[in-house]
Amino acid sequence: MNHERHEMHETILYREEAYSIQGAVFDVYREMGCGFLEAVYQECMEKELTRRGIPLSEGYREAVCLRLCHS
């Protein structure tokens, strides 16, 4: 099997914050699984981000929920 090696040529701004948000997404998906309406995932994400002390903005909903609900 031939696997390509990908190198990261970009730096991630706000690396720790990005990893924390990504961890929240994984935790919600692991806990809830698939098959729920988008509103369920949205509410769970809001609770998880709040629990982690991550401030919420209005624009986060579309980006997070579209990726979480439609992957």
**Distance between CA atoms of 46 and 40, rounded to whole angstroms?**
10
Closest CA to 61 of 26, 69, 53: 69
Q: What pLDDT is recorded for position 56?
A: 83
Q: What pLDDT is recorded for position 33?
A: 92
Q: What pLDDT is recorded for position 38?
A: 84
Domain ranges of the chain: 15-69
Task: Give 12's contacts (C-beta < 8 A, 6+ positions apart).
Answer: 18
Contact between residue 26 and residue 6 where contact means Cβ atoms under 8 Å apart: no
Sole residue written with tokens 């696997």 = 3
Q: What pLDDT is recorded for position 55?
A: 86
Q: What pLDDT is recorded for position 3?
A: 55
The CA-based angle 14-8-24, given to 5 degrees, is 45
Per-residue pLDDT of the chain (71 residues; tens, 9 = 90+): 455 555 555 787 888 988 998 999 999 999 999 899 888 988 998 899 999 998 887 776 666 655 555 55
